[in-house]
Amino acid sequence: MLLKSRNLFWDRISSKHDIGSTVLYLLLFITVSSAAYGAVLAGWRSPLLSFYVAIKMPILLLGTTTLVMLLNWIFAGMTGSGLSFKQVVAITYGAMGVTCWILLSLTPVTALFTFSVASGGTHAEQQLTHNYLLMAHIILIAFAGIAGNCALKQGLDKTILHGCSARKIYWSWIASFTIVGCQLSWILRPFIGSPFYAIEFMRPDALKRNFFEFIYTDVLPYIIKGGS
Amino acid sequence: MTNNPQTAWKTPILPPPLPTEEDLPGIRPPPGNELHALAGLLKSPAHILWRIKEDDNLPVLTLQLFIWGLIFHAIYGFAMALFDSAEVAAITAGKAPLITLFATLLCLPSLYVFSCVAGLPVKITQACALAGSTVAMTGLLLLGMTPVIWLFSVSTNNLSFIVIINLVSWIVAVGFALRFFGMFGQPGINDKISGLKWWLFIYIMVSLQMATTMRPLLGKPGTGLEPVEKKFFLAHFKDTLAESGKSVSAGNQGKRR
């Protein structure tokens, strides 16, 4: 229904019909599809990391949406959308479901890239492979995320009360997703698996720094200095 | 009667007439004219799209499109690899359709999902037919470019040039498939093709990686079909161009892609 009759899906959410079973189905689908994509994502490095990432991808996606759910409901309430908490949950997981449909459909494509690039060679070669894969996955996941965001906007347009601004709710939700998603992905790294680090479920310093601190102290100075 | 302002209100206001088949040329096929898939693709691509939309005997259409598309890819591959020798050309003639076939199979799930997500819900059979149309349309364009590519292949030793001209030809051919998808925007069909455009981008990336995996295409393989070194296509493309630069300066030593 989410794939082929999305208007029907939003109508069901809008009329609050059978939301509980819809959400359960979505949770199951998001878990399975993101685990499949995660398994392929880290497949180039080792089967062990592939297994770890198959566990971590559903935690990342479901964790991000679950952690911001309460905040999103409050944002929606403050703008007079008339959405119940159950509806917010269903809309959020519905949008994530669209993202996961795209990730699932791209799994054969990513499998080709993962298994046709070298996992051995010199450090420089491994770093190059890692960077190429990183770039490819960023593009694919960003694309899936954009499609999910479009679905989110569409869902809000169809379910909120007339006269309420869907745009305000949408951007406040996107902001909360971004902040929480970036930090959770930082905590749960590695995903692709840098060749310079050991294979592990989480890095030992996972809870020591944060994503935004890393961007501010490491990435920005590197870019400003022109990569030197 | 209608010219009299006092009685004009009695005249019923009728909606404009519905468009006839003549108003939508090329979308509906002429009655009783069952074009062959290939002829349809060449002369009336909208006819093929109409058949896909109406789910009109799609398994046969899909099979025809795939078979012809792959044959054309084989012919193009043969002409392209004459850059090295007839032996390599024969091997590449076998590899080129396999690259296309495997890339299409890997991209089929994403074609189905992207179409549905973009608001163009299709059945699996329709997705297969769309993929077949892409392969056939690309193959047809490549067939048209085959004499040109053959001329360059047999008359130059510059590997970089041959790699670039083949890449450009292939991307132009796939670009025509994009125009083919664009016909969905005609009145009476559907204008939600953004998902298909994105899919075509994925298809291009996958095809390039598949070609890299099944290399060499322009040179003799080592001892047959043994696995080649795993490589990302951008890295391979860069290495090929660098190697070509060296081989040009040292004669004609490095004819391998």
Return the residue of A nearest to B202 by Cα.
A109
Q: Residue written as tokens 């770039």?
A: A135
Closest-CA distance of chain A to residue B16, Å = 30
Closest-CA distance of chain A to residue B119, Å = 7
Q: With an 8 Å Cβ cutoff, are B235 and A129 in contact? A: yes
Q: With an 8 Å Cβ cutoff, are B114 and A102 in contact? A: yes
Q: With an 8 Å Cβ cutoff, are A112 and B234 in contact? A: no
At residue A226, the pLDDT reads: 57
Q: With an 8 Å Cβ cutoff, are A118 and B106 in contact? A: no
Closest-CA distance of chain B to residue A2, Å = 8
At residue B219, the pLDDT reads: 79
At residue B220, the pLDDT reads: 76
Q: With an 8 Å Cβ cutoff, are A108 and B106 in contact? A: yes
Of the residues A1, A2, A4, the best mutation for testing chain B's interface (the one with the most B CB atoms within 10 Å of its CB) is A4
Instruction: Please report residues of B whose CB lies closer than 8 A to that of A115.
Output: 230
Instruction: Please report residues of B whose CB lies closer than 8 A to that of A5.
Output: 121
At residue A1, the pLDDT reads: 73
Instruction: Please report residues of A whose CB lies closer than 8 A to that of B234.
Output: 132
DSSP structural state of residue A161:
P
Return the residue of B nearest to A136 by Cα.
B205
Return the residue of A nearest to B204 by Cα.
A109
Of A5, A115, A132, the CB nearest to B235: A132
Least confident of A63-67, A121-125, A127-131, B151-155: A121-125
Please choose, from the candidates A40, A190, A26, A155, the residue with its C-alpha nearest in 3D space to the C-alpha of residue A104: A40
Q: Report the Cα–Cα distance between both ends of chain A, in Å, rounded.
A: 51
Cα gap A88→A70, rounded to integer Å: 9
At residue B34, the pLDDT reads: 45
Can you list the alpha helix ranges (DSSP code H) found in chain A? 6-14, 19-41, 47-78, 85-115, 123-159, 166-188, 211-214, 220-224
Of A5, A105, A113, the CB nearest to B112: A105
Cα gap B52→B101, rounded to integer Å: 20
Instruction: Please report residues of B whose CB lies closer than 8 A to that of A103.
Output: none
Instruction: Please report residues of B whose CB lies closer than 8 A to that of A114.
Output: none
Cα gap B197→B178, rounded to integer Å: 7
Which structure tokens are listed for A202? 């989480």
At residue B188, the pLDDT reads: 47
Cα gap B248→B160, rounded to integer Å: 9
Q: Per CB distance under 8 Å, which residues of B are interface residues toward A? A: 105-107, 109-110, 112-114, 116-117, 119, 121, 198, 202, 205-206, 209-210, 212-213, 229-232, 234-235
Least confident of A43-52, A190-199, B38-47, B180-189: B180-189
Torsion from C-alpha of B1, B6, B7, B13, nearest 10 degrees? 100
Of B106, B117, B229, the CB nearest to A118: B229
At residue B98, the pLDDT reads: 94
At residue B13, the pLDDT reads: 52
Half-sphere exposure of A5 (CA within 13 A, CB side): 6
Instruction: Please report residues of A whose CB lies closer than 8 A to that of B126.
Output: none
- Average pLDDT over chain A, rounded to an integer: 85
pLDDT over 70 for what percent of chain A?
96
Ordered mean pLDDT values, 10 residues apiece, chain B (257 residues): 49 49 48 58 76 82 91 93 89 93 93 85 88 90 87 82 88 82 56 73 91 84 64 80 66 43
At residue A116, the pLDDT reads: 82
The more confidently predicted of residues A163 and B123 is: B123
Q: With an 8 Å Cβ cutoff, are B107 and A147 in contact? A: no
Compute the average pLDDT of residues A218-222: 72
Amino acid identity, residue A60? L
Of B121, B206, B234, the CB nearest to A132: B234
At residue B151, the pLDDT reads: 84
Compute the average pLDDT of residues A86-97: 91
pLDDT at A218 over 90: no
Burial class (CB in 10 A: 0-12, 13-18, 19+), B8: exposed
Residue length, chain A? 228
Return the residue of B nearest to A110 by Cα.
B206
At residue B11, the pLDDT reads: 53
Q: With an 8 Å Cβ cutoff, are A113 and B232 in contact? A: yes
Q: With an 8 Å Cβ cutoff, are A3 and B206 in contact? A: no
Cα gap B81→B90, rounded to integer Å: 8
Cα gap B237→B219, rounded to integer Å: 15
Return the residue of A nearest to B114 by Cα.
A102
The more confidently predicted of residues B78 and A220 is: B78
Cα gap A132→A223, rounded to integer Å: 19
Q: With an 8 Å Cβ cutoff, are B110 and A117 in contact? A: no
Cα gap A74→A70, rounded to integer Å: 6
Q: Which long-range contacts (CB under 8 A, 24 or more apart) does B210-213 make?
A: B210/A112, B210/B99, B210/B102, B210/B103, B210/B106, B211/B99, B212/A116, B212/B236, B212/B237, B213/A112, B213/A116
The full set of domain ranges for chain B reads 41-252
At residue B229, the pLDDT reads: 74
